[in-house]
Amino acid sequence: MDLGLKGLKALVTGGTKGIGWAIAETLAREGCDVAICARNAGEVAAAADRLGAFGGRATGAVVDVSDGPALKAWVAEVGADFGGVDIVVANVSALSIGAEEESWNKEFQTDLMGTVRLVEAAMPFLEKSGKGSIVTVSSVSGREIDFTAGPYGTMKAAIIHYTQGLAYQLAAKGIRANTASPGNTKFPGGIWDQIETGNPKLFAESLALNPTGRMATPQEIANGVVFLASPAASFVSGTNLVIDGALTRGVQF
């Protein structure tokens, strides 16, 4: 299937590793110009270089998405440099699961407001796109209670609600908005890689919950995200695509 992505311009936050990198790489492979941001300068530079090898334009910037002015400036710079923005993927998470107020603030500023500010900054470009698409990355923790109940699960649920509202509000402007909710996803250096070593009991318990007997790869999540972002999903808007290998058992109506 031709996803119709060639020549489109995409922004991906947290695009240097794990799910974010897999999304950025897949978009680049499909012919998009891709701009990524993250907080580690060395990782940003290396990832942008790798993306450039696919033939499209690729840029990277050091941005903390909880810094509203910095995020807005980055989006404006990329939009001017690329000559527009067609796709935004809000992928960054603080991964903060503590019960203290600091964890709530981190999750609110990074996960929720990082998403809201990204969308608002990109809106002038998306309105001119003709193929505008917003994809937010939530989590299965946003639709069920698990060990991340608290700030992480709450903000992930809020992202789903926010995105479905956007889909309704922006439909007349030809801009689509969807959410992808990954299940447990394992990759080198990622949170589940760390849990496997640091808390093997939790890792084993979590792994046992999935009837497939394994966790997802970043590429498996990216495949769903990139489809939602693409013109091939032209009549898909307001959905929450759960990609979890049948981990969750609640029925979505």
For the stretch 25-61, pLDDT in tens is 999 999 999 999 999 999 999 999 999 999 999 999 9
Residue 2 forms part of a structural domain: no
Residue 193 clears pLDDT 80, i.e. is over it: yes
Q: Which residue type sits at 16?
A: T
Is-catalytic flag, 152? yes
* Integer Cα distance of 244 and 191 in angstroms: 16
Residue 147 clears pLDDT 80, i.e. is over it: no
Residue 117 clears pLDDT 80, i.e. is over it: yes
Q: Centre a 10 Å sphere on the Cβ of residue 65 and count the other Cβ atoms it contains.
A: 26
Residue 82 clears pLDDT 90, i.e. is over it: yes
Question: Could you give the residue ranges of the DSSP H alpha helices within the chain?
Answer: 18-29, 41-52, 68-82, 101-107, 113-129, 151-170, 191-198, 200-209, 218-229
Is-catalytic flag, 206? no
Residue 90 forms part of a structural domain: yes
- Per DSSP, 95 falls in state -
Residue 42 forms part of a structural domain: yes
* Integer Cα distance of 210 and 191 in angstroms: 17
Average pLDDT over residues 228-253: 94
Residue 217 forms part of a structural domain: yes
Per annotation, catalytic residue among 66, 93, 96, 138: 138
Per annotation, catalytic residue among 93, 96, 133, 139: 139
pLDDT in the model for residue 146: 81
Looking up residue 97, the CATH number of its domain turns out to be 3.40.50.720
Is-catalytic flag, 168? no
pLDDT in the model for residue 170: 98
Residue 249 forms part of a structural domain: no
Average pLDDT over residues 50-75: 97
Is-catalytic flag, 141? no
pLDDT in the model for residue 74: 98
Residue 1 forms part of a structural domain: no
Residue 8 clears pLDDT 90, i.e. is over it: yes
Per annotation, catalytic residue among 152, 162, 186, 230: 152
Residue 101 forms part of a structural domain: yes
Residue 235 clears pLDDT 80, i.e. is over it: yes
- pLDDT by residue (tens digit) across 160-174? 999 999 999 999 999
What is the residue range of 48's domain?
A: 9-243
Per annotation, catalytic residue among 9, 106, 131, 156: 156
| Whole-model pTM over 0.75 | yes
Count of the separate structural domains present in the chain: 1
Residue 139 forms part of a structural domain: yes
Closest CA relative to residue 23, chosen from 41, 55, 49, 47? 47
